[in-house]
Homo-oligomer: A and B are copies of this chain.
Amino acid sequence: MVAQKIRNMEEFSAKCGVSRPTVSKYFNEPSSVRASTRQKIEAALEQYDFRPNLYAVNQNRRITKNIGIVVPYVADPFFSEVARKLERCCIEAGFSPSTFSSHGSPDHELEILDILRSMRPAGVLMAPIGRDSHKKKLEAFCKEIPTVLVDSNLEGIGATFIGSNNFQSVPLMVEYLCRTGEPPCFFEMPPVNPNANKRRAAYTQAMEELGHTPHVIRVEGDDWEFEEIGYNGGLKILEKNDLPSRTILCSNDRLAIGLMAAAYELGIKVGIAPDCTLRIAGHDDHPFARYTCPSLTTISQDYEAITERSVDTLVNLIEHGRNKRDREDTLYEGRLIMRSSA
């Protein structure tokens, strides 16, 4: 690597012995230039490390190579994992991802849309907050920029939706819990997104099909501190001691983690061991679900498949345009992860 700094593509192309437009073509798509000139350029690249000015490139390209990634709350390990995997897929597909977290606030979600607009991304992967999202503005955004919804579906918004099938995963869990003990009640908080609603509905349906009466317990809370909500709500319902069932299926793992903490504090032993008086199950296979005490029985979402498929779909959309007719949503099935809490 030579010390001399290259200021711009003009200078660099001189070092290559190739004209600037050709070098420009190369950076757009290396395979679009003849092998011999590609070699010249790459040889120079070894010597002078030059990178085209990001801003100049993006200003002039019709569409950029940027992909926006929006998750509702990056401090939630589920979403930080999702974001991480999405990023990786984007890079592999030759795009530059930029990740944003709505921090659980619909207003912030809107602000992110504005930031995204100013980035003129080729496409957006969006896990919307859900419940409180400003639907109309979101819809307008999706019409402007190719957007794939991930994890949480908003009917009719975005080009497609890719997530998991709550109507498969929840019954799977309900059946398991019924087969191995008392039929579960359902522990939830005010739903933050459609998944929460679907899970409750799927629970109710599954219970009825098995000939049991569904019981839904809802506790208060309206932010993204799910553990806290599960804990405080858990303390209340466990202290009253009039649970409809000693098996509790939680709407998600974080809620379950809070509930388990409450049970522990009240001296209630959780698990499937003989001396336990409460079974708790979750949903999502949160990265820490393996390390709760007891380890959490839950449903594992197929992260890998969801994220890969999302990026694939978006890239297709970007490169071949949208097929208006087929907003065929993809739903992946969850796997039952049997551990020791239920």
Number of copies: 2
Is A101 engaged at the interface, CB distance under 8 Å to the other chain? yes
Residue pair B227, A291 in contact (C-beta under 8 Å): yes
Which one of A120, A227, A293 has the highest number of Cβ atoms from chain B below 10 Å of its Cβ? A293
Residue numbers in B under 8 Å from A55 (CB-CB): 54-56, 58-59, 120
Q: Which residues of B contact A77 (CB under 8 A)?
A: 75, 77, 80
Interchain CA distance A75-B99 in the complex, whole Å: 13
A54 touches B119 (CB 8 A): yes
Q: Tell me the dominant secondary structure on chain A's binding face.
A: helix
Name A288's contact: one of B117, B120, B257, B290 (CB within 8 Å).
B257
B98 close to A98 (CB less than 8 A): yes
Q: Tell me the count of chain A residues lying within 8 A, CB to CB, of chain B.
A: 43
Q: Measured between alpha carbons, how far is A75 from B88 in the docked complex, in Å?
A: 14
Q: Which of A29-37, A153-161, A200-208, A258-266 contacts B (4 or more CB under 8 A)?
A: A258-266
Question: Is A291 a contact of B258 with CB atoms below 8 Å?
Answer: yes
Contact mask for chain A residues 175-188; partner B; CB cutoff 8 A; 1 contact, 0 none: 00000000000000
Interface membership of A295, Cβ < 8 A: yes
Tell yes or no: A304 within 8 A of B by CB: no
Q: Which of B75, B117, B264 contacts A287 (CB 8 A)?
A: B75
Q: Does A323 contact B (CB under 8 A)?
A: no
In this complex, what residue of B is CB-closest to A74? B80
A25: interface (CB < 8 Å): no
Chain A positions 289 through 327: 1 when the CB is less than 8 Å from some CB of chain B, otherwise 0:
011111100000000000000000000000000000000
A103, CB-defined interface residue at 8 Å: yes
Some 27 contacts from A to B, beta carbons below 8 A apart, are A51-B114, A54-B55, A54-B119, A55-B55, A55-B56, A55-B120, A59-B59, A74-B80, A74-B83, A74-B84, A75-B77, A75-B80, A75-B81, A75-B84, A77-B80, A80-B80, A84-B101, A87-B101, A98-B98, A227-B288, A231-B290, A257-B291, A261-B290, A261-B293, A261-B295, A264-B293, A265-B295
Known: A84-B103, A257-B291. 13 other contacts (CB 8 A): A53-B59, A54-B55, A55-B58, A59-B59, A75-B287, A227-B288, A227-B290, A231-B291, A260-B291, A261-B291, A261-B292, A264-B293, A288-B288
